Structure 1
Amino acid sequence: MSPHSAPEPSIQDQYSDEKTYKYGSSAYYAYLFLAQDTQKDIKLLHAFFHEISNVLYISTESSVARLKLSWWKNEIEQLFHGKPEHPISQALVATIKKYDLKKQYFDYIVESVEMDLSHNRYLDWTSLKNFCTMQSGAFACLITQVLAPTNEQNIRFAQKLGVAIHFTHLLRGLGQDATQGRIYIPMDFLREHQIKAADILNAKYSDEFRVFMQAQGNYARQLFKEALPYLAPESRQALRPCLIKANLCLKLLKALEKDQWRVLDKGISLSPVSKLLTASKVWLSQGRYFGM
Protein backbone atom coordinates (compact mmCIF):
# COMPACT_ATOMS: atom_id res chain seq x y z
CA MET A 1 0.00 0.00 0.00
CA SER A 2 1.39 3.39 -0.93
CA PRO A 3 1.86 5.99 1.83
CA HIS A 4 -0.91 8.13 0.32
CA SER A 5 -3.53 5.43 -0.26
CA ALA A 6 -6.54 5.05 2.01
CA PRO A 7 -6.31 2.41 4.73
CA GLU A 8 -8.15 -0.84 4.22
CA PRO A 9 -11.58 -0.78 5.92
CA SER A 10 -11.89 -2.97 8.98
CA ILE A 11 -14.20 -5.98 9.16
CA GLN A 12 -16.48 -3.91 11.39
CA ASP A 13 -16.59 -1.06 8.86
CA GLN A 14 -17.31 -3.43 5.98
CA TYR A 15 -20.13 -5.11 7.90
CA SER A 16 -21.75 -1.87 8.95
CA ASP A 17 -21.49 -0.45 5.41
CA GLU A 18 -23.44 -3.48 4.15
CA LYS A 19 -26.17 -3.06 6.76
CA THR A 20 -26.62 0.70 6.91
CA TYR A 21 -28.80 2.97 4.80
CA LYS A 22 -28.22 2.91 1.06
CA TYR A 23 -27.18 5.56 -1.42
CA GLY A 24 -30.25 7.46 -2.62
CA SER A 25 -32.41 6.59 0.38
CA SER A 26 -34.15 9.25 2.45
CA ALA A 27 -31.62 8.67 5.23
CA TYR A 28 -28.78 9.23 2.78
CA TYR A 29 -30.10 12.70 1.94
CA ALA A 30 -30.94 13.49 5.56
CA TYR A 31 -27.29 13.12 6.58
CA LEU A 32 -25.69 14.19 3.30
CA PHE A 33 -24.39 17.55 4.56
CA LEU A 34 -22.94 16.34 7.86
CA ALA A 35 -19.23 15.96 8.55
CA GLN A 36 -17.80 12.58 7.56
CA ASP A 37 -17.05 11.54 11.15
CA THR A 38 -20.64 12.26 12.20
CA GLN A 39 -21.98 10.42 9.18
CA LYS A 40 -19.90 7.38 10.13
CA ASP A 41 -21.34 7.33 13.65
CA ILE A 42 -24.89 7.63 12.33
CA LYS A 43 -24.27 4.89 9.76
CA LEU A 44 -23.28 2.57 12.62
CA LEU A 45 -26.53 3.30 14.45
CA HIS A 46 -28.50 2.60 11.27
CA ALA A 47 -26.60 -0.66 10.82
CA PHE A 48 -27.51 -1.70 14.37
CA PHE A 49 -31.15 -0.71 13.83
CA HIS A 50 -31.43 -2.66 10.57
CA GLU A 51 -29.72 -5.70 12.08
CA ILE A 52 -32.33 -5.83 14.86
CA SER A 53 -35.46 -4.82 12.96
CA ASN A 54 -34.74 -7.26 10.13
CA VAL A 55 -34.86 -10.20 12.53
CA LEU A 56 -38.64 -10.08 12.10
CA TYR A 57 -38.36 -10.62 8.35
CA ILE A 58 -35.38 -12.93 7.88
CA SER A 59 -36.39 -15.49 10.52
CA THR A 60 -39.31 -17.56 9.28
CA GLU A 61 -39.73 -19.28 12.64
CA SER A 62 -40.83 -17.17 15.60
CA SER A 63 -38.76 -19.31 17.97
CA VAL A 64 -35.61 -18.63 15.93
CA ALA A 65 -36.31 -14.90 15.90
CA ARG A 66 -36.78 -14.90 19.68
CA LEU A 67 -33.47 -16.70 20.15
CA LYS A 68 -31.73 -14.08 18.01
CA LEU A 69 -33.32 -11.24 19.98
CA SER A 70 -32.34 -12.91 23.25
CA TRP A 71 -28.77 -13.10 21.97
CA TRP A 72 -28.89 -9.39 21.10
CA LYS A 73 -30.16 -8.51 24.57
CA ASN A 74 -27.10 -10.17 26.01
CA GLU A 75 -24.89 -8.58 23.36
CA ILE A 76 -26.10 -5.10 24.37
CA GLU A 77 -25.17 -5.91 27.97
CA GLN A 78 -21.74 -6.99 26.78
CA LEU A 79 -21.44 -3.88 24.62
CA PHE A 80 -22.01 -1.54 27.55
CA HIS A 81 -19.51 -3.54 29.61
CA GLY A 82 -16.89 -3.20 26.88
CA LYS A 83 -16.97 -6.84 25.71
CA PRO A 84 -19.00 -6.94 22.47
CA GLU A 85 -18.74 -9.83 20.02
CA HIS A 86 -20.71 -8.70 16.96
CA PRO A 87 -18.87 -6.53 14.36
CA ILE A 88 -21.47 -3.76 14.61
CA SER A 89 -21.30 -3.78 18.40
CA GLN A 90 -17.52 -3.62 18.31
CA ALA A 91 -17.67 -0.63 15.98
CA LEU A 92 -20.23 1.09 18.23
CA VAL A 93 -18.03 1.11 21.34
CA ALA A 94 -16.28 4.38 20.45
CA THR A 95 -19.52 6.02 19.27
CA ILE A 96 -21.32 5.21 22.51
CA LYS A 97 -18.50 6.69 24.56
CA LYS A 98 -18.21 9.79 22.35
CA TYR A 99 -21.86 10.77 22.73
CA ASP A 100 -22.71 9.01 26.00
CA LEU A 101 -25.49 7.11 24.23
CA LYS A 102 -28.05 5.59 26.56
CA LYS A 103 -28.39 1.82 26.82
CA GLN A 104 -32.16 2.00 27.31
CA TYR A 105 -32.72 3.07 23.70
CA PHE A 106 -30.82 0.06 22.35
CA ASP A 107 -32.88 -2.16 24.66
CA TYR A 108 -36.14 -0.57 23.53
CA ILE A 109 -35.38 -1.33 19.88
CA VAL A 110 -34.89 -5.03 20.66
CA GLU A 111 -38.03 -5.09 22.82
CA SER A 112 -40.06 -3.47 20.03
CA VAL A 113 -39.20 -6.33 17.66
CA GLU A 114 -40.17 -8.81 20.38
CA MET A 115 -43.48 -6.98 20.61
CA ASP A 116 -43.90 -7.22 16.84
CA LEU A 117 -43.39 -10.98 16.99
CA SER A 118 -46.39 -11.22 19.29
CA HIS A 119 -48.69 -8.98 17.26
CA ASN A 120 -49.72 -8.93 13.63
CA ARG A 121 -52.53 -6.55 14.56
CA TYR A 122 -52.70 -3.55 16.90
CA LEU A 123 -56.08 -3.03 18.51
CA ASP A 124 -55.85 0.71 19.11
CA TRP A 125 -53.61 3.74 18.67
CA THR A 126 -52.24 3.47 22.20
CA SER A 127 -50.74 0.05 21.52
CA LEU A 128 -49.39 1.03 18.09
CA LYS A 129 -47.97 4.29 19.45
CA ASN A 130 -46.18 2.34 22.18
CA PHE A 131 -44.61 0.11 19.53
CA CYS A 132 -43.57 3.08 17.35
CA THR A 133 -42.15 4.92 20.36
CA MET A 134 -40.08 1.94 21.43
CA GLN A 135 -38.73 1.33 17.94
CA SER A 136 -38.45 4.48 15.82
CA GLY A 137 -38.81 6.84 18.77
CA ALA A 138 -35.89 5.18 20.56
CA PHE A 139 -33.82 5.19 17.38
CA ALA A 140 -34.57 8.89 16.83
CA CYS A 141 -33.37 9.56 20.39
CA LEU A 142 -30.02 7.91 19.59
CA ILE A 143 -29.66 9.98 16.42
CA THR A 144 -30.57 13.14 18.32
CA GLN A 145 -27.93 12.40 20.96
CA VAL A 146 -25.34 12.38 18.17
CA LEU A 147 -26.56 15.63 16.63
CA ALA A 148 -27.51 17.84 19.57
CA PRO A 149 -27.20 18.21 23.36
CA THR A 150 -29.07 15.56 25.30
CA ASN A 151 -31.84 17.30 27.19
CA GLU A 152 -35.47 16.53 27.94
CA GLN A 153 -36.85 18.80 25.22
CA ASN A 154 -34.71 17.29 22.46
CA ILE A 155 -35.57 13.77 23.59
CA ARG A 156 -39.28 14.53 23.62
CA PHE A 157 -39.02 16.02 20.13
CA ALA A 158 -37.14 12.94 18.90
CA GLN A 159 -39.68 10.53 20.38
CA LYS A 160 -42.65 12.30 18.84
CA LEU A 161 -40.95 12.80 15.51
CA GLY A 162 -39.95 9.13 15.44
CA VAL A 163 -43.59 8.11 15.90
CA ALA A 164 -44.76 10.44 13.10
CA ILE A 165 -42.10 9.16 10.70
CA HIS A 166 -42.83 5.53 11.55
CA PHE A 167 -46.58 5.94 11.07
CA THR A 168 -45.99 7.55 7.66
CA HIS A 169 -43.81 4.63 6.60
CA LEU A 170 -46.47 2.19 7.81
CA LEU A 171 -49.02 3.90 5.56
CA ARG A 172 -46.70 3.65 2.56
CA GLY A 173 -45.89 0.00 3.37
CA LEU A 174 -49.46 -1.11 4.10
CA GLY A 175 -49.65 -3.45 1.11
CA GLN A 176 -46.20 -4.94 1.57
CA ASP A 177 -46.90 -5.66 5.24
CA ALA A 178 -50.26 -7.19 4.30
CA THR A 179 -48.48 -9.79 2.13
CA GLN A 180 -47.00 -11.08 5.40
CA GLY A 181 -50.36 -11.03 7.16
CA ARG A 182 -49.58 -7.85 9.10
CA ILE A 183 -51.79 -4.78 9.41
CA TYR A 184 -50.28 -1.92 11.39
CA ILE A 185 -53.20 0.50 11.17
CA PRO A 186 -55.06 0.11 14.49
CA MET A 187 -58.17 -2.05 14.30
CA ASP A 188 -60.34 0.64 15.85
CA PHE A 189 -59.30 3.01 13.04
CA LEU A 190 -60.51 0.39 10.54
CA ARG A 191 -63.81 -0.11 12.38
CA GLU A 192 -64.40 3.64 12.51
CA HIS A 193 -64.35 3.71 8.69
CA GLN A 194 -66.00 0.30 8.24
CA ILE A 195 -62.91 -1.14 6.56
CA LYS A 196 -62.41 -4.88 6.85
CA ALA A 197 -59.00 -6.39 7.48
CA ALA A 198 -59.70 -8.85 4.67
CA ASP A 199 -59.98 -5.98 2.19
CA ILE A 200 -56.45 -4.87 3.02
CA LEU A 201 -55.06 -8.41 3.00
CA ASN A 202 -56.67 -9.00 -0.42
CA ALA A 203 -55.57 -5.60 -1.82
CA LYS A 204 -59.17 -4.54 -2.42
CA TYR A 205 -59.61 -0.87 -3.29
CA SER A 206 -62.79 1.13 -2.81
CA ASP A 207 -63.91 4.71 -2.34
CA GLU A 208 -64.27 3.95 1.36
CA PHE A 209 -60.66 2.76 1.49
CA ARG A 210 -59.40 5.98 -0.08
CA VAL A 211 -61.40 8.08 2.40
CA PHE A 212 -59.97 5.92 5.18
CA MET A 213 -56.40 6.37 3.96
CA GLN A 214 -56.86 10.11 3.56
CA ALA A 215 -57.90 10.24 7.21
CA GLN A 216 -54.72 8.35 8.14
CA GLY A 217 -52.62 10.75 6.09
CA ASN A 218 -54.21 13.69 7.88
CA TYR A 219 -53.50 11.99 11.20
CA ALA A 220 -49.84 11.53 10.23
CA ARG A 221 -49.59 15.26 9.51
CA GLN A 222 -51.10 15.98 12.91
CA LEU A 223 -48.38 13.84 14.52
CA PHE A 224 -45.70 16.00 12.88
CA LYS A 225 -47.46 19.15 14.12
CA GLU A 226 -47.48 17.74 17.64
CA ALA A 227 -43.72 17.13 17.51
CA LEU A 228 -42.72 20.63 16.35
CA PRO A 229 -43.45 22.54 19.61
CA TYR A 230 -40.79 20.41 21.32
CA LEU A 231 -38.10 21.58 18.90
CA ALA A 232 -36.05 24.16 20.80
CA PRO A 233 -34.95 27.13 18.64
CA GLU A 234 -31.33 26.65 19.69
CA SER A 235 -31.41 23.01 18.49
CA ARG A 236 -33.09 23.63 15.14
CA GLN A 237 -29.84 23.97 13.20
CA ALA A 238 -28.20 20.92 14.78
CA LEU A 239 -31.30 18.79 14.20
CA ARG A 240 -31.65 19.65 10.50
CA PRO A 241 -31.18 15.99 9.50
CA CYS A 242 -34.27 15.10 11.57
CA LEU A 243 -36.19 17.93 9.94
CA ILE A 244 -35.11 16.71 6.50
CA LYS A 245 -36.57 13.29 7.33
CA ALA A 246 -39.81 14.93 8.47
CA ASN A 247 -40.06 17.02 5.30
CA LEU A 248 -39.43 13.98 3.11
CA CYS A 249 -42.25 12.17 4.91
CA LEU A 250 -44.61 15.09 4.34
CA LYS A 251 -43.67 15.11 0.67
CA LEU A 252 -44.25 11.36 0.53
CA LEU A 253 -47.74 11.84 1.97
CA LYS A 254 -48.50 14.30 -0.83
CA ALA A 255 -47.27 11.77 -3.39
CA LEU A 256 -49.47 9.05 -1.88
CA GLU A 257 -52.47 11.38 -2.03
CA LYS A 258 -51.76 12.23 -5.64
CA ASP A 259 -51.66 8.52 -6.45
CA GLN A 260 -55.06 8.00 -4.77
CA TRP A 261 -53.50 5.96 -1.96
CA ARG A 262 -52.68 2.95 -4.15
CA VAL A 263 -50.50 1.48 -1.42
CA LEU A 264 -51.89 -2.06 -1.49
CA ASP A 265 -50.33 -3.22 -4.76
CA LYS A 266 -47.52 -0.77 -5.56
CA GLY A 267 -44.71 1.12 -3.91
CA ILE A 268 -44.41 4.90 -4.06
CA SER A 269 -41.06 6.58 -3.57
CA LEU A 270 -39.75 10.09 -4.06
CA SER A 271 -37.20 10.63 -6.81
CA PRO A 272 -33.56 11.29 -5.86
CA VAL A 273 -33.83 14.80 -7.32
CA SER A 274 -36.90 15.53 -5.19
CA LYS A 275 -35.13 14.25 -2.08
CA LEU A 276 -32.03 16.33 -2.79
CA LEU A 277 -34.03 19.51 -3.37
CA THR A 278 -35.98 19.04 -0.16
CA ALA A 279 -32.85 18.27 1.86
CA SER A 280 -31.12 21.34 0.43
CA LYS A 281 -34.05 23.61 1.29
CA VAL A 282 -34.07 22.44 4.91
CA TRP A 283 -30.31 22.66 5.27
CA LEU A 284 -29.88 26.10 3.70
CA SER A 285 -32.83 27.54 5.65
CA GLN A 286 -31.08 26.53 8.89
CA GLY A 287 -33.98 24.19 9.60
CA ARG A 288 -36.70 26.81 9.28
CA TYR A 289 -38.24 25.30 6.14
CA PHE A 290 -41.11 22.97 6.95
CA GLY A 291 -43.42 21.96 4.11
CA MET A 292 -46.68 21.34 5.93
Structure 2
Amino acid sequence: MSNTHTPSSQYRQEKSYKHGSSAYYSYLFVSEDKRLVIENLYAFLHEVTDILYITSDSSVARIKLAWWKEEIDKLFHGKAEHPISQALMEAVKTYGLSQQYFLYIIESVEMDLSHNRYLDWTSLKNFCTMQSGAFACLITQVLSDTTETNIRFAQQMGIAVQFANLLRKLGEDAAQGRIYIPMDFLREHQLKAADILNGKYSDEFKAFMQAQGHRAHELFTEAFALYANLNKASKKELRPCIIRAKLSLKLLKAIEKDQWRVLDKGISLSPLSKLFTAAKVWLLG
Protein backbone atom coordinates (compact mmCIF):
# COMPACT_ATOMS: atom_id res chain seq x y z
CA MET A 1 0.00 0.00 0.00
CA SER A 2 2.10 2.81 -1.32
CA ASN A 3 1.93 6.28 0.18
CA THR A 4 3.81 7.95 -2.70
CA HIS A 5 3.08 11.68 -2.88
CA THR A 6 0.71 12.23 -5.82
CA PRO A 7 -2.23 14.60 -6.39
CA SER A 8 -4.55 11.73 -5.42
CA SER A 9 -2.65 10.94 -2.22
CA GLN A 10 -2.55 14.64 -1.31
CA TYR A 11 -6.32 14.85 -1.80
CA ARG A 12 -6.85 11.84 0.47
CA GLN A 13 -4.60 13.33 3.13
CA GLU A 14 -6.51 16.62 3.02
CA LYS A 15 -9.78 14.74 3.51
CA SER A 16 -8.45 12.52 6.30
CA TYR A 17 -7.90 13.45 9.94
CA LYS A 18 -5.52 16.30 10.67
CA HIS A 19 -2.13 16.15 12.32
CA GLY A 20 -2.62 16.83 16.02
CA SER A 21 -6.28 15.80 16.10
CA SER A 22 -7.66 13.22 18.53
CA ALA A 23 -7.84 10.71 15.68
CA TYR A 24 -4.18 11.39 14.84
CA TYR A 25 -3.08 10.50 18.37
CA SER A 26 -5.47 7.54 18.58
CA TYR A 27 -3.69 5.76 15.71
CA LEU A 28 -0.22 7.21 16.24
CA PHE A 29 1.28 3.89 17.36
CA VAL A 30 -0.50 1.66 14.83
CA SER A 31 1.70 0.02 12.17
CA GLU A 32 2.19 2.14 9.06
CA ASP A 33 0.27 -0.14 6.70
CA LYS A 34 -2.81 -0.22 8.92
CA ARG A 35 -2.58 3.48 9.72
CA LEU A 36 -2.62 4.28 5.98
CA VAL A 37 -5.84 2.26 5.57
CA ILE A 38 -7.39 4.05 8.54
CA GLU A 39 -6.41 7.41 7.05
CA ASN A 40 -8.16 6.44 3.82
CA LEU A 41 -11.25 5.33 5.74
CA TYR A 42 -11.37 8.73 7.44
CA ALA A 43 -11.02 10.37 4.03
CA PHE A 44 -14.07 8.41 2.85
CA LEU A 45 -16.02 9.37 5.98
CA HIS A 46 -15.28 13.07 5.57
CA GLU A 47 -15.84 13.01 1.80
CA VAL A 48 -19.35 11.63 2.31
CA THR A 49 -20.41 13.51 5.45
CA ASP A 50 -19.14 16.83 4.05
CA ILE A 51 -21.79 16.56 1.32
CA LEU A 52 -24.29 17.69 3.95
CA TYR A 53 -22.46 20.97 4.51
CA ILE A 54 -20.98 21.90 1.12
CA THR A 55 -24.07 21.17 -0.99
CA SER A 56 -26.86 23.68 -0.39
CA ASP A 57 -29.33 21.96 -2.71
CA SER A 58 -30.63 18.78 -1.07
CA SER A 59 -31.55 17.24 -4.42
CA VAL A 60 -27.95 17.65 -5.61
CA ALA A 61 -26.72 16.19 -2.32
CA ARG A 62 -28.93 13.12 -2.83
CA ILE A 63 -27.53 12.68 -6.35
CA LYS A 64 -24.00 12.75 -4.91
CA LEU A 65 -24.91 10.18 -2.24
CA ALA A 66 -26.53 7.95 -4.87
CA TRP A 67 -23.31 8.21 -6.86
CA TRP A 68 -21.34 7.11 -3.80
CA LYS A 69 -23.58 4.08 -3.34
CA GLU A 70 -22.77 3.04 -6.89
CA GLU A 71 -19.09 3.77 -6.27
CA ILE A 72 -19.04 1.50 -3.22
CA ASP A 73 -20.53 -1.27 -5.36
CA LYS A 74 -17.74 -0.67 -7.88
CA LEU A 75 -15.19 -0.70 -5.05
CA PHE A 76 -16.27 -4.18 -3.97
CA HIS A 77 -16.10 -5.36 -7.58
CA GLY A 78 -12.57 -3.99 -7.98
CA LYS A 79 -13.63 -1.18 -10.33
CA ALA A 80 -13.44 1.92 -8.11
CA GLU A 81 -13.16 5.30 -9.85
CA HIS A 82 -12.76 7.85 -7.04
CA PRO A 83 -9.22 8.36 -5.63
CA ILE A 84 -10.37 7.51 -2.11
CA SER A 85 -12.18 4.30 -3.03
CA GLN A 86 -9.34 3.31 -5.37
CA ALA A 87 -6.98 3.59 -2.39
CA LEU A 88 -9.26 1.24 -0.43
CA MET A 89 -9.48 -1.56 -3.01
CA GLU A 90 -6.54 -3.51 -1.61
CA ALA A 91 -7.73 -2.99 1.98
CA VAL A 92 -11.17 -4.41 1.16
CA LYS A 93 -9.50 -7.70 0.26
CA THR A 94 -6.77 -7.65 2.90
CA TYR A 95 -9.00 -6.90 5.89
CA GLY A 96 -12.35 -8.19 4.64
CA LEU A 97 -14.00 -4.79 5.06
CA SER A 98 -17.80 -4.96 5.03
CA GLN A 99 -19.64 -3.24 2.20
CA GLN A 100 -22.67 -2.74 4.42
CA TYR A 101 -20.76 -0.49 6.83
CA PHE A 102 -19.84 1.85 3.97
CA LEU A 103 -23.48 1.96 2.89
CA TYR A 104 -24.68 2.65 6.44
CA ILE A 105 -22.45 5.74 6.56
CA ILE A 106 -23.90 7.02 3.29
CA GLU A 107 -27.44 6.32 4.51
CA SER A 108 -26.76 8.24 7.73
CA VAL A 109 -26.10 11.36 5.65
CA GLU A 110 -29.37 10.72 3.81
CA MET A 111 -31.06 10.69 7.23
CA ASP A 112 -29.54 14.11 7.93
CA LEU A 113 -30.88 15.43 4.65
CA SER A 114 -34.38 14.28 5.56
CA HIS A 115 -34.56 16.16 8.86
CA ASN A 116 -32.40 18.42 11.00
CA ARG A 117 -34.02 17.40 14.29
CA TYR A 118 -34.19 14.10 16.16
CA LEU A 119 -37.35 13.56 18.17
CA ASP A 120 -36.10 10.95 20.64
CA TRP A 121 -33.09 8.91 21.71
CA THR A 122 -34.13 5.92 19.59
CA SER A 123 -33.89 7.94 16.37
CA LEU A 124 -30.61 9.62 17.35
CA LYS A 125 -29.08 6.31 18.45
CA ASN A 126 -30.02 4.84 15.09
CA PHE A 127 -28.23 7.71 13.35
CA CYS A 128 -25.11 7.31 15.53
CA THR A 129 -25.13 3.54 14.97
CA MET A 130 -25.27 3.97 11.20
CA GLN A 131 -22.59 6.64 11.07
CA SER A 132 -19.99 6.49 13.83
CA GLY A 133 -20.92 2.96 14.89
CA ALA A 134 -20.46 1.61 11.36
CA PHE A 135 -17.24 3.57 10.94
CA ALA A 136 -15.85 2.17 14.20
CA CYS A 137 -16.66 -1.32 12.91
CA LEU A 138 -14.58 -0.65 9.78
CA ILE A 139 -11.68 0.53 11.94
CA THR A 140 -12.01 -2.60 14.06
CA GLN A 141 -11.90 -4.82 10.98
CA VAL A 142 -8.52 -3.26 10.17
CA LEU A 143 -7.14 -3.55 13.69
CA SER A 144 -8.45 -6.94 14.83
CA ASP A 145 -10.49 -10.05 14.06
CA THR A 146 -14.08 -9.51 12.93
CA THR A 147 -15.74 -11.35 15.81
CA GLU A 148 -19.20 -10.65 17.16
CA THR A 149 -17.81 -9.42 20.48
CA ASN A 150 -15.30 -7.10 18.79
CA ILE A 151 -17.97 -5.62 16.52
CA ARG A 152 -20.42 -5.11 19.41
CA PHE A 153 -17.72 -3.24 21.34
CA ALA A 154 -16.79 -1.12 18.30
CA GLN A 155 -20.38 -0.19 17.59
CA GLN A 156 -21.05 0.88 21.18
CA MET A 157 -17.81 2.83 21.38
CA GLY A 158 -18.65 4.57 18.11
CA ILE A 159 -22.04 5.63 19.48
CA ALA A 160 -20.47 6.96 22.69
CA VAL A 161 -17.76 8.93 20.87
CA GLN A 162 -20.24 10.48 18.45
CA PHE A 163 -22.71 11.48 21.16
CA ALA A 164 -19.92 13.15 23.14
CA ASN A 165 -18.83 14.93 19.96
CA LEU A 166 -22.38 16.13 19.33
CA LEU A 167 -22.37 17.74 22.77
CA ARG A 168 -19.08 19.47 21.99
CA LYS A 169 -20.36 20.70 18.61
CA LEU A 170 -23.81 21.77 19.82
CA GLY A 171 -23.23 25.45 19.02
CA GLU A 172 -21.39 24.73 15.78
CA ASP A 173 -24.24 22.54 14.52
CA ALA A 174 -26.83 25.09 15.68
CA ALA A 175 -25.12 27.68 13.47
CA GLN A 176 -26.00 25.34 10.57
CA GLY A 177 -29.60 25.15 11.79
CA ARG A 178 -29.16 21.61 13.10
CA ILE A 179 -29.86 20.22 16.57
CA TYR A 180 -28.87 16.62 17.12
CA ILE A 181 -29.80 16.29 20.79
CA PRO A 182 -33.35 14.81 20.82
CA MET A 183 -36.24 17.21 21.20
CA ASP A 184 -37.73 15.23 24.07
CA PHE A 185 -34.49 15.75 26.03
CA LEU A 186 -34.91 19.50 25.57
CA ARG A 187 -38.55 19.38 26.71
CA GLU A 188 -37.56 17.50 29.87
CA HIS A 189 -35.54 20.57 30.87
CA GLN A 190 -38.03 23.20 29.67
CA LEU A 191 -35.83 24.19 26.75
CA LYS A 192 -36.88 25.07 23.22
CA ALA A 193 -35.02 24.59 19.95
CA ALA A 194 -34.85 28.38 19.66
CA ASP A 195 -32.85 28.54 22.91
CA ILE A 196 -30.12 26.42 21.31
CA LEU A 197 -30.26 28.13 17.92
CA ASN A 198 -30.00 31.57 19.57
CA GLY A 199 -27.13 30.53 21.86
CA LYS A 200 -29.10 31.21 25.03
CA TYR A 201 -27.44 30.16 28.29
CA SER A 202 -29.57 29.56 31.38
CA ASP A 203 -29.81 27.41 34.50
CA GLU A 204 -32.09 25.09 32.51
CA PHE A 205 -29.46 24.77 29.79
CA LYS A 206 -26.76 23.91 32.33
CA ALA A 207 -28.96 21.24 33.92
CA PHE A 208 -29.76 19.93 30.45
CA MET A 209 -26.08 19.64 29.51
CA GLN A 210 -25.21 18.00 32.82
CA ALA A 211 -27.86 15.37 32.11
CA GLN A 212 -26.47 14.80 28.61
CA GLY A 213 -22.96 14.59 29.98
CA HIS A 214 -24.14 11.89 32.39
CA ARG A 215 -25.74 10.05 29.47
CA ALA A 216 -22.46 10.21 27.53
CA HIS A 217 -20.58 8.74 30.50
CA GLU A 218 -23.11 5.89 30.66
CA LEU A 219 -22.55 5.14 26.97
CA PHE A 220 -18.80 4.95 27.52
CA THR A 221 -19.29 2.75 30.59
CA GLU A 222 -21.29 0.30 28.46
CA ALA A 223 -18.53 0.29 25.84
CA PHE A 224 -15.77 -0.28 28.42
CA ALA A 225 -17.77 -3.18 29.88
CA LEU A 226 -17.86 -4.80 26.43
CA TYR A 227 -14.12 -4.18 26.05
CA ALA A 228 -13.47 -5.92 29.38
CA ASN A 229 -15.02 -9.10 27.99
CA LEU A 230 -12.78 -9.25 24.90
CA ASN A 231 -9.96 -11.75 24.70
CA LYS A 232 -6.42 -10.63 25.48
CA ALA A 233 -5.33 -10.36 21.84
CA SER A 234 -8.33 -8.22 20.88
CA LYS A 235 -7.82 -5.91 23.84
CA LYS A 236 -4.26 -5.28 22.72
CA GLU A 237 -5.18 -4.74 19.09
CA LEU A 238 -8.08 -2.41 19.89
CA ARG A 239 -6.15 -0.06 22.17
CA PRO A 240 -6.51 2.74 19.58
CA CYS A 241 -10.28 2.64 20.14
CA ILE A 242 -9.70 3.05 23.88
CA ILE A 243 -7.35 5.97 23.24
CA ARG A 244 -10.09 7.60 21.16
CA ALA A 245 -12.58 7.06 23.97
CA LYS A 246 -10.25 8.37 26.67
CA LEU A 247 -9.60 11.52 24.66
CA SER A 248 -13.35 12.05 24.22
CA LEU A 249 -13.90 11.64 27.95
CA LYS A 250 -11.04 14.00 28.76
CA LEU A 251 -12.52 16.64 26.47
CA LEU A 252 -15.96 16.08 27.97
CA LYS A 253 -14.54 16.77 31.44
CA ALA A 254 -12.88 19.95 30.16
CA ILE A 255 -16.20 21.14 28.74
CA GLU A 256 -17.94 20.37 32.02
CA LYS A 257 -15.27 22.30 33.91
CA ASP A 258 -15.95 25.25 31.59
CA GLN A 259 -19.63 25.22 32.64
CA TRP A 260 -20.83 23.69 29.34
CA ARG A 261 -20.21 26.83 27.29
CA VAL A 262 -20.50 25.00 23.98
CA LEU A 263 -22.89 27.41 22.23
CA ASP A 264 -20.41 30.19 21.52
CA LYS A 265 -16.91 28.75 21.93
CA GLY A 266 -14.81 25.72 21.16
CA ILE A 267 -12.74 23.74 23.63
CA SER A 268 -9.87 21.47 22.70
CA LEU A 269 -7.12 19.49 24.39
CA SER A 270 -3.46 20.42 24.02
CA PRO A 271 -1.25 18.20 21.83
CA LEU A 272 0.81 17.28 24.89
CA SER A 273 -2.29 16.19 26.78
CA LYS A 274 -3.41 14.05 23.84
CA LEU A 275 0.03 12.49 23.45
CA PHE A 276 0.26 11.69 27.16
CA THR A 277 -3.16 9.98 27.12
CA ALA A 278 -2.34 8.03 23.96
CA ALA A 279 1.04 6.85 25.22
CA LYS A 280 -0.37 5.86 28.60
CA VAL A 281 -3.12 3.70 27.10
CA TRP A 282 -0.79 2.17 24.52
CA LEU A 283 1.85 1.23 27.08
CA LEU A 284 -0.33 0.29 30.05
CA GLY A 285 -3.57 -0.83 28.38
Alignment TM class, shorter chain as reference: over 0.9
Q: 2:196 aligned with 1:200, yes or no?
A: yes
Q: Distance in 2 between matches of 1:276 and 1:37?
A: 21
Superposition deviation, residue 270 in structure 1: 0.8
Q: Distance in 1 between matches of 2:200 and 2:6?
A: 49
Contact 1:11 1:87 in 2 (8 A): no
Contact 1:12 1:91 in 2 (8 A): no
Q: Distance in 2 between matches of 1:121 and 1:31?
A: 33
Cα deviation digits, residues 211-266 of structure 1 (max 9, x gap): 11011001000001111222204211110100000000110110001100000000
Contact 1:26 1:248 in 2 (8 A): yes
1:1-292 to 2 correspondences below 5 Å: 8-231=4-227, 232-234=230-232, 235-285=234-284, 287=285
Contact 1:165 1:246 in 2 (8 A): yes
Superposition deviation, residue 8 in structure 1: 4.5
Contact 1:109 1:134 in 2 (8 A): yes
The count of residues paired between Structure 1 and Structure 2 equals 281
3-state secondary structure, aligned to 1:158: helix
Structure 1 gaps, min length 5: 1-5, 288-292
- Matched residue type, 1:247: K
- Length-normalised TM-score, structure 1: 0.94
Superposition deviation, residue 58 in structure 1: 0.6
C-alpha spacing 1:8/1:189, structure 2 compared with 1 (3 Å): closer
Q: Distance in 1 between matches of 2:7 and 2:90?
A: 15
- Matched residue type, 1:20: S
Superposition deviation, residue 35 in structure 1: 1.2
Contact 2:3 2:9 in 1 (8 A): no
Q: Distance in 2 between matches of 1:29 and 1:112?
A: 26
- Length-normalised TM-score, structure 2: 0.96
Superposition deviation, residue 76 in structure 1: 0.5
- Matched residue type, 2:8: Q
Superposition deviation, residue 54 in structure 1: 0.6
3-state secondary structure, aligned to 1:228: helix
3-state secondary structure, aligned to 1:236: helix
Q: Distance in 1 between matches of 2:3 and 2:133?
A: 36
Cα deviation digits, residues 13-72 of structure 1 (max 9, x gap): 222111100000000000011111111111010111110111101101111111100100
Q: Tell me the percent identity.
A: 68
- Matched residue type, 2:264: D
Contact 2:159 2:219 in 1 (8 A): yes
Contact 2:17 2:43 in 1 (8 A): yes
